[in-house]
């Protein structure tokens, strides 16, 4: 790849991609898609991320992906708990912290509640724990804003409701959940077709982008 940007950002993103590849492989094993962590999942994630040049220096995006993977692990663990209060609290805190990088990440919060409802893990205590996590981050955010260290990201989030990033955020979350419950370990032609099409599209996107850059 012909890249003339900040090499430091590329190396930082590369480190996060490698970490996310390992976490993704671990997540697939924990939620039952694969029996054990496998290099197939990790290498597939790394291949897709490396094939798209626009993502090579997008370390913020990799941080958001890491946050989403951790949230999926926490919510999956909450299903097996008598009361997933701790998992709900931590997931909400992570979502709100991701809002500092991308305000539209707050869209993940109601989607997380929907997932808890689908899994029949939503109770009043779980909901209150989630709201307490949101309130905790909001209080610290206001303190930091009062000290003049940052602007309010809530107003920025409200301005982005009509932006395409909202659709992207929802799409990433839905795709993550869909992959989490798609029966990959079951032999299926549709599974193989979906995987091949996804990889080919990612590679095609990278090749076309490189050709346009060179021309």
User: Looking at the structure, do residues 132 and 52 belong to the same domain, yes or no?
Assistant: no
Summarised one tens digit per residue, pLDDT across range 153-170 is: 555 555 554 455 555 555
Q: How far apart are CA 205 and CA 64, in angstroms?
A: 22
Where residue 147 falls among pLDDT bands split at 50, 70, 90? confident
pTM to 2 decimals? Answer: 0.73
Domain that holds residue 169: 62-181
C-beta atoms surrounding 148 within 10 Å = 7
Closest to 13 in 3D by CA, of 207, 214, 5, 24: 5
Where residue 1 falls among pLDDT bands split at 50, 70, 90? very low
User: Looking at the structure, do residues 165 and 214 belong to the same domain, yes or no?
Assistant: no
Q: How far apart are CA 202 and CA 210, in angstroms?
A: 12
User: Looking at the structure, do residues 46 and 73 belong to the same domain, yes or no?
Assistant: no
Where residue 61 falls among pLDDT bands split at 50, 70, 90? confident
User: Looking at the structure, do residues 143 and 68 belong to the same domain, yes or no?
Assistant: yes
User: Looking at the structure, do residues 117 and 195 belong to the same domain, yes or no?
Assistant: no
Q: How far apart are CA 76 and CA 142, in angstroms?
A: 31
User: Looking at the structure, do residues 85 and 38 belong to the same domain, yes or no?
Assistant: no
User: Looking at the structure, do residues 114 and 21 belong to the same domain, yes or no?
Assistant: no
Summarised one tens digit per residue, pLDDT across range 74-123 is: 888 876 666 788 888 999 999 988 888 877 777 788 888 888 887 787 88
pLDDT at 9 over 90: no
Number of structural domains found in the chain: 2
User: Looking at the structure, do residues 104 and 174 belong to the same domain, yes or no?
Assistant: yes
Contact 103, 154 (CB under 8 A): yes
> Residue 186 has what pLDDT?
56
User: Looking at the structure, do residues 68 and 142 belong to the same domain, yes or no?
Assistant: yes
User: Looking at the structure, do residues 116 and 145 belong to the same domain, yes or no?
Assistant: yes
Average pLDDT over residues 19-44: 86
Say which residues have a Cβ less than 8 Å from residue 52's Cβ, sequence separation at least 6.
202, 205, 206, 209
User: Looking at the structure, do residues 120 and 26 belong to the same domain, yes or no?
Assistant: no
User: Looking at the structure, do residues 161 and 215 belong to the same domain, yes or no?
Assistant: no
Check residues 53 and 13 and name the one with the higher pLDDT: 13
């Amino acid at each position: 790849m012909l890249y003339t940007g900040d090499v430091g950002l590329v190396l930082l993103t590369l480190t996060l991609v490698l970490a996310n590849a390992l976490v993704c492989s671990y997540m697939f094993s924990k939620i039952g898609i694969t029996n054990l962590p496998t290099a197939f999942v990790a290498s597939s994630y790394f291949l897709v991320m490396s094939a798209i040049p626009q993502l090579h220096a997008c370390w913020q995006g990799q941080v958001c992906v890491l946050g989403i993977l951790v949230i999926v692990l926490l919510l999956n663990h909450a299903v097996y708990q008598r009361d997933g209060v701790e998992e709900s609290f931590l997931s909400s805190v992570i979502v709100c912290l991701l809002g500092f990088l991308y305000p539209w990440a707050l869209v993940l919060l109601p989607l997380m509640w929907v997932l808890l409802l689908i899994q029949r893990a939503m109770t009043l205590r779980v909901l209150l724990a989630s709201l307490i996590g949101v309130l905790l981050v909001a209080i610290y955010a206001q303190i930091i804003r009062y000290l003049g260290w940052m602007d309010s990201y809530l107003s920025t989030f409200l301005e982005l409701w009509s932006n395409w990033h909202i659709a992207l955020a929802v799409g990433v979350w839905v795709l993550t959940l869909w992959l989490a419950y798609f029966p990959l370990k079951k032999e299926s032609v549709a599974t193989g077709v979906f995987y091949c099409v996804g990889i080919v599209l990612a590679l095609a996107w990278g090749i076309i982008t490189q050709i346009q850059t060179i021309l």
